[in-house]
Amino acid sequence: MMMPSLISSLTAALLLASGIHAVPQGPFGAESVIVSAVPTASASTAGVAASQPTTSLGSSSNAASDISACNNSPLLCDRAYNNVTHMGAHDSSFLKDGSTGNSLAGNQYFNATVALDAGIRLLQGQVHDTNGTLRLCHTSCSLLDAGPLQDWLAKVKFWMDTNPNEVVTLLLVNSDNKLVSDYATVFEGSGISTYGYQPTDGSTASKTWPTLREMITSNKRLVSFIASIDYSTIYPYLLSEFDHVFENPYDVLSLSGFNCTLDRPKGQGSAENAIASGRMPLMNHFAYSVLMEGVQIPDETNIDITNSADTTTTGNLGLHADTCVKQWGVKPTFILVDFFDHGPAIDTADRLNGISDATGRKSTSAESKESSTSGAGENKAMGINVALVAFVGFALAMV
C-alpha cells in the first residue's frame, strides 16, 4: 500500500517531470524520457470510454430546414461569424473526472459533447503523434492521453449531425509539427470534413465572414484552426490559426495577470495591427497555480472568480472581456476558459453577444460528473502507475 503522501509526491514528480501545462517544452525537457518509459496500453486508453456514434447522417440530408435560432439564439442568425463571441473550452478533451483518476492535469470537468450541449462553440485541444497516430494528449501522451483525434472528431461530428443549426469552431495545437495532410486524413476519416467551412482565400485574414445563417444553410458550419500548419489549397478547410487569429498571453499565474496585449503571432507587433489585418481576437482567460516550484496546474481554487461574468473583481472573466473590448475596439471573437461550467463562462459570451434569450442549451447540472470513487478504481491505479513511471523519468531527467 502506498501512503497518500507518497502518492501525492509521485504525482507532483509526474507534474514536475512533464511540464504540466500546454506549453510545447516542459521546464525540464523531460518528455522524451517519460514517453519512452511508459507502459503502453494502460495510460493510452484511460481517458476514453468511447461510445462510438453508430449513425452518421449525410451532410446534405441534415441541412437545417427550420432556422429559428443559430448558436442558441435568433439574434445571432444574421450576424457575421467574426462578430459573434464564441465561448471556448481550453484543453477541452483533457478531463479531471473519474475517467482520468481526477488528473491534476485536467482542465475540464465535462467532455466536448457536454460542452457543446451547454453552449460552448469553440473546442481547443492539443495534438501529438504517437507511432504515426494523431492523439489528443496533454503535454505528453504519458501524462494524459484522451485517445485518437479521429475518434474525438467523430464524436463532435455526431453532435453536429444532430444539431444542424450550430456553427462550431475547432482549435488544435499541432504539437509535433505534423503536415496539414496528416490532419486532413483524420478529418476525412472522421467524416467531419464534410462540414468544413472554406474561406475564398484561406491563406490570409479576412474581415468578411459569412453570417451564421449562411454557414448553416450551406451546411459548412465547422471552422477549423490548427496552430500551426502551412495552409494548403488542397485542404482549404484546414486553416492556419495565426493567419486568421491573434491571442493575448496564455501563461498566467495570478488573477491580476490577465491582459489584452498581443502575444501571438509576434510578427503582428500589436493587437491594433492584428485587428487592422483582419485577424480575429482570441482572449485566453485561464490561470495556472503553482503546485511546487516549476509545476503549474490549472487553478481550480479560484475558478469561480476566474470564470465569473462579474466586472467587479480582479480576475473576473467579465472584467477581462470589458478591458479587452475597450482596448481593442472590438469584442473577442473567441474566449478560452478552463472548467467552462463554472461561472458559467457562457454568461459572459451572452452579454457580449447581447443575448438574454438563449434556447436549446442543456445545463451541466443535469450531467453527473464521473465520480472519483465509483468505477474509477482501475483508472486510479493507472494514474498511480503513470506517476511511478514519471517518477523514474523525473529521476533520470535530474541526473
Binding status of residue 40 toward ligand NAG by CB under 6 A: yes
Among 9, 45, 113, 323, binds ligand NAG (CB under 6 A): 113
Question: Does the protein bind ligand NAG through residue 79 (CB under 6 A)?
Answer: yes
Instruction: Write down the least CB distance from residue 373 to ligand NAG, Å.
Output: 18
Query: Annotated catalytic residue: which of 90, 128, 320, 342?
Result: 90
Name the minimum Å distance from CB 300 to ligand NAG.
Answer: 21
Count of residues of this chain found to bind ligand NAG when the rule CB under 6 A is applied: 18
278 lines the binding site for ligand NAG (CB under 6 A): no
Distance CA 49, CA 275 (A): 42
Rounded-to-integer distance, Cα 147 and Cα 141, Å: 9
Q: In the set 249, 278, 294, 360, which binds ligand NAG (CB under 6 A)? A: 249
Rg (CA), the chain: 20
Instruction: Give the Cβ contact number of residue 329 at 10 Å.
Output: 10
Per CB under 6 A, 131 contacts ligand NAG:
yes
Residue facing ligand NAG at closest CB distance? 40
For ligand NAG, which is the closer residue by CB, 51 or 356?
51
The answer to whether residue 83 forms part of the interface with ligand NAG (CB under 6 A) is yes
Task: Give dist(CA 331, CA 167) in Å, integer.
Answer: 18
Would you give the distance in Å from CA 285 to the centre of its chain?
12
Is 356 a binder of ligand NAG (CB under 6 A)? no
Amino acid at 52: Q
Asked about 138 being catalytic, the answer comes back as: yes
Asked if 286 is part of the footprint of ligand NAG (rule: CB under 6 A), the reply reads no
| β-sheet bridge partners, residue 264 | 247
Question: Of these, 80, 325, 388, 396, which contacts ligand NAG (CB under 6 A)?
Answer: 80
Nearest distance, CB of residue 298 and ligand NAG, angstroms: 17
Residue 130 lies near ligand NAG (rule: CB under 6 A): yes
Which position among 21, 86, 128, 138 bears the catalytic label?
A: 138
Q: Which of residues 137-166 bind ligand NAG (CB under 6 A)?
A: 152, 155
Closest CA to 192 of 151, 147, 244, 233: 151
- Distance between CA atoms of residues 260 and 97, nearest Å: 32
Q: Which stretch binds ligand NAG (CB under 6 A): 108-116, 225-233, 237-245, 332-340?
A: 108-116
Residue 86 bears catalytic tag: no
Does residue 359 touch ligand NAG according to CB under 6 A?
no
Contact flag: residue 112 with ligand NAG (CB under 6 A): yes
| Sign of the Cα pseudo-torsion (44, 46, 47, 50, in order) | positive
Q: How near is the Cβ of 111 to ligand NAG at its closest, in Å?
A: 4
Which of residues 183 and 209 has its CB atom nearest to ligand NAG in the complex?
209
Q: Which of 257, 329, 375, 377 binds ligand NAG (CB under 6 A)?
A: 257
Judged by CB under 6 A, does residue 289 bind ligand NAG?
Answer: no
Residue with cell 443535469: 366
Amino acid at 350: D
201 to 240: interface string for ligand NAG, x by CB under 6 A: ----------------------------------------
Which spans of this chain sit near ligand NAG (rule: CB under 6 A)? 40, 44, 51, 79-80, 83, 111-114, 130-131, 152, 155, 249, 257, 259, 261
Active centre residues (catalytic): 90, 138
